[in-house]
Amino acid sequence: MNNEIEYVEEGHVYLYKGLYIVPSVTQILEKIFPDKYKNVPRETLMRKASYGSQIHQYIEQYEKGIITIKLNYIQEASFGQYLRLKDKYNINVLEQEKIVNYKDIYAGRYDMLAEINGEIWLIDIKTTASLDKEYLSWQLSLYEYAEKLNADHLGSIWLPKKDIGRLVEIERKSKKEINKLLEEVKKWK
């Protein structure tokens, strides 16, 4: 865990040495994709976020061998898709929910670093009905850049409600693209 950055669940903020708030990757992406959820009612967003958070938490607990929450039957189907993908691709989870920080310009927490068929993947778990690969490209690239991971692949374990879960490789943003974005982020402060 990054000792300089603390994640405060209440308020969903990252604090640098307890002194000031560091923008999150999500906040940066909201500036890039300002209309992403424009036509989705807040209640729907909250319900879908809760659904996805429970799947994430369950997978994290499963991988640690300690399950303390229950899933409903729809969530169990999504988790079943995860188990199928884990078996199919020989997914070995190395780290989960690790906080990353880039020079106090931004912080975030990636879902999973895993070995898949002998290669290192930086993974985000999504339970959305459709997969926004451009958004994921920025999200995962920012996590990787902050952590200097140099993963073999960026990807998503996509677990929609229908039984069509997949491991999807996501295109990496170039360092030039990321540096250009970071120059903009500095101006936002």
Local mean pLDDT, 10-residue blocks, the chain (189 residues): 74 79 89 78 81 92 93 91 96 95 91 95 94 96 94 96 90 96 83
Residue 2: inside a domain: no
pLDDT given for residue 2 in this prediction: 56
Residue 20: inside a domain: no
Q: Which structural domain range is residue 131 located in?
A: 25-188
Amino acid symbol at 30: E
Residue 40: inside a domain: yes
Residue 16: inside a domain: no
> How many domains does the chain contain in total?
1
pLDDT given for residue 1 in this prediction: 44
Residue 99: inside a domain: yes
Residue 141: inside a domain: yes
pLDDT given for residue 10 in this prediction: 78
CATH code at position 162: 3.40.1350.10
Structure pTM? Answer: 0.90
